[in-house]
Structure formats: C-alpha cells, structure tokens
Amino acid sequence: MTEKPGLSIWESTPEASLVQSRGILTQIVHEHVDALVGKFYSVFLTHSEGSTFLSHSVVNDRLHSSLRRWLLDLVQTDPDGDLSGFDARQIKIGEVHARLKIPNHLVMEGMTLLKSEISRRVAQNNPDAVQVATTLILLGELVDYSMRLMTRSYVTDTTRRVQTDEAFRLFSLGQDINLERETQRAALMEWSQSVLFGLLGRGNKTLPVSLSASPFGLWVRHRAALLFQGSPILRSIEKLMIEVDEDLLPSIDSETPSSIVALQERMDEVKFHLNDLFQAAANVENGTDPLTRALNRRFLPSVLSREITLAKEGPSELSVLMVDIDHFKSINDTHGHSVGDIALSHTAATLLDFVRVSDFVFRYGGEEFLIVLVETGRTEALTIAERIRQRLAALDIPLSEHENLKITASIGVATFEGHPDYEYLINAADRALYEAKRSGRNRVIEACAA
C-alpha cells in the first residue's frame, strides 16, 4: 500500500478531478457547517446510548466547537501533502474518547451520519454522476482515514486502562481480605445496633441513618463494587439494603415486635450474602485449581495466544497435549469421589513434576488436563506424551496400607502449524484425544493434519 493508507482514490483518479472534488467538499462543508453540527446534535441528543455523553454543558459547548473545527480541518487538509499534523489531531481525539469512555462504535455512528449528510448535499448541487461519485469516495476515504486513526489510539488507550483497572482490582483484593470481611461484618452490626439503641433509648423519635448511607453502605457501593465486579451476590445485598431503607426503616417501632424481627431477618440475610461474596471471590480469583494445583482454565487463552504469537514470529515450535484419565467415572463409582480426587491430584502432580518451568499445565475439565509445551516440535511432543503415559500407568496410588489404585490415561497431541486461532490447536488435540479413547485408551494419538 501507499504511504497514504486508504486514500486509494488518489492513485486511480485524474488529478484535475480530485482537485475539483476537494473544492466541492470544501465549499459544502464551509457553507453548511452549522447545519451539519446541528443535525449531529439533534440525532445524538435523542440517541439512547449517545445522549448520556452529551448531557453536561461544558462537553456540549466544547464538542460543538471541536466538531466544527474537525469538519473544517478535514476539508482543509491536503491528503496529498504532509498529514503528520492532521494525524496527530485524530490520535489525540481517540485518546480523549478513551479517557471519557465514549464507545468507539458510537463515534463511528456519528461519522456515518456526517458522511451521509454531506453526501446528500454534494448530489444536490452537481449533475455530473462521475464527479459526484469521485467526491463521495474522497469524502468516505478522508473520514474513514480519520476514524481509523481515532480507533487505533482509542483501542490502545482503552486496553491500557483496562489493564490498569484490573491490576488495581487485584491489588485491592490482595490486601488483607479476611480483615476486610470482618471489618465489614462489624460495620453492619454496628449499624443495626445503633438502630436498636435509637429505638429503645430515644423512644423512636428520630429516624436512624439509612443502611445505604452508613459506612457499610459506602463500602458496598465504592469498594465492594470494585472488588467483586458484577457479582450477582453483590446485587442481592444492594437490593436488601434498599428494602431495609425504604420498607422497614420508616415503619420500625419498638412497640411492634414484628418490625424488629423483620429487621433481624434482613440483617441475617445480608450477613449470609456477605460471607458468600468473599467465599465466591476466593474461588474465582484462584489462579490454580485448589485440588490439583494445575492452572485455572480461564488463563488458557492468555497463555496459548501469547505462545502462538511467539511461535508465529520465530522459528520455535509449540505443541499441546490433552491428557484424560481413562475410566474415571468408574473409579468414582467404585471407590467414591474422594478416591477420584486422590487420582486427580496424583495425576496432576505427575504432570507438573514432568514438565519444564517454561511449560504450562491446565486443569481443562473434570479429569482432563491440557499441557502447553513451548519450543517443542511434533517428534519431541510425541516422545514426551508417551513418557507421560508410561509414567502414569506405572503410578501406584496408595489408597490404604494394602491397596493401591492403578490408572491409565489417553493423550491427544497437536503441534502448531501456523493457524493463528488457538481454538484450532485445542480442537486438534481434542480430536486426537477422542481418537485415542475410541481406539482403546491408554495410548498417545497425534492429530492428523488439517
């Protein structure tokens, strides 16, 4: 491609025609700039998603003038000249959108609207079909070029922000989380106690401070919402708080025992949810599976995606093993789930012990493990898989003083062959595993080429 990506019209159109089209665009935008900005506002102020971003008066004023400036900049800039200043301005706009969290697709919608509005006006003043088409193509390429630059910086800055947000969330979670749980249980108790004392001491004269406005309520909205992002349990707590504040508190009365009982019940519910909340977070945030110490499957895309990029760029190879314990269901059925768990943890320990520090072992499913072998080609991966199969078959898993459990495993092997989608590699290993199962178990089968 040329140095002016996307401005392909520049190469395929006679210069005189382009100069004329630029003239037409410049004239129309200059003449109609207020109408264009006005149309933009009339559409987006009633737009379900867009209106929230335009509500504040400062934004309104600023955007009005910056949209005007952007339109004039667009037609004044010579696409055949030095674009570095224009580029820098588009990049800056994308950064501002990222900071204000204005979704990129919304900006794109605005761009389409402006293109259509200008295009309509071009056709109204010009009877020459070819000239109209040239002008509309030029307009489209210019606006799209600007939008691409905005998108690039928007995506860069947004991903950077998301990364920092997640780091902050995990940092906050990493602080003493048990202390936090107890502190908040205490804050909750303190509030209900103050309500009760208020009722008894002051003869129910003053309305107590609401639960939402208490330190516990503040914590729920500002800290818990950060720590337990989007947890349904958190929403239950918020719902209960509103119930307490709106339904119970106004009518609570020390002379009406049922109102006190109702409050107590709600408090117990909140406490119960609070415990659940911390418990659920402990499970989700685990990087490893507590039973097997293998990596949590949710990190598989992170690892495989990275490793595929490395394998694509360099000469190094990449293989994946899918390991599944044979007849696991019958182990569970015959000996019970605790023996099944023992088999799982011994298998995982064997795998973790076997691989290098640069490899990755994931708990993929119930009795299924996925191993990522970095810088490992087909032949080597098959050798490693076969050794793992033998090692597992040789295990004596002690169940009691006199009883050992024997297990075998089937293994599917797939080697990266250039397809950039990690799901493709996982599926290949999965199909090979299926084939190993089907052909009799306790064996290693290699994925056939796609």
Least distance CB 151 / its own copies (angstroms): 5
For CA atoms 143, 146, 150, 151, give the dihedral sign. Answer: positive
Q: How many binding residues for its own copies (CB under 8 A)? A: 107
| Contact (Cβ atoms closer than 8 angstroms) between residue 119 and residue 111 | no
Least distance CB 115 / its own copies (angstroms): 6
Q: Which of residues 24-53 bind its own copies (CB under 8 A)?
A: 43, 46-48, 52-53
Q: Token digits for 302?
A: 């992170």
- For residue 306, the one-letter residue type is R
Q: Which of residues 49-88 bind its own copies (CB under 8 A)?
A: 52-53, 55-59
Q: Which of residues 169-208 bind its own copies (CB under 8 A)?
A: 169-172, 174-175, 183
Which residue number, 307 or 367, has a Cβ lying nearer to its own copies?
307
d(CA 125, CA 303): 57
Which residue number, 147 or 371, has a Cβ lying nearer to its own copies?
147
Tell me which of 307, 326, 367, 368 binds its own copies, using CB under 8 A: 307
- Count of C-beta atoms within a 10 Å radius of residue 1: 8
| CA-to-CA dists, residue 195 to 186, 200, 217, angstroms | 14, 9, 15
Which residue number, 5 or 398, has a Cβ lying nearer to its own copies?
5
Tell me which of 28, 63, 93, 122 binds its own copies, using CB under 8 A: 122
Contact letters for its own copies, residues 134-163 (x by CB under 8 A): x-xx--xx--xx-xxx-xx--x--xx-xxx
For CA atoms 107, 111, 112, 114, give the dihedral sign. Answer: positive
| Contact (Cβ atoms closer than 8 angstroms) between residue 183 and residue 265 | no
| CA-to-CA dists, residue 298 to 286, 289, 294, 304, 442, angstroms | 10, 11, 12, 11, 28
Residue 126 lies near its own copies (rule: CB under 8 A): yes
Which residue number, 128 or 403, has a Cβ lying nearer to its own copies?
128
Which residue number, 167 or 393, has a Cβ lying nearer to its own copies?
167
Q: Which of residues 199-258 bind its own copies (CB under 8 A)?
A: 215, 218-219, 221-223, 225-226
Which residue number, 153 or 410, has a Cβ lying nearer to its own copies?
153
Instruction: Reduce the DSSP state of residue 449 to 3 states and report it.
Output: coil
Residue 448 lies near its own copies (rule: CB under 8 A): no
Q: Which of residues 374-403 bind its own copies (CB under 8 A)?
A: 374-375
Nearest to 411 by CA among 433, 379, 378: 433
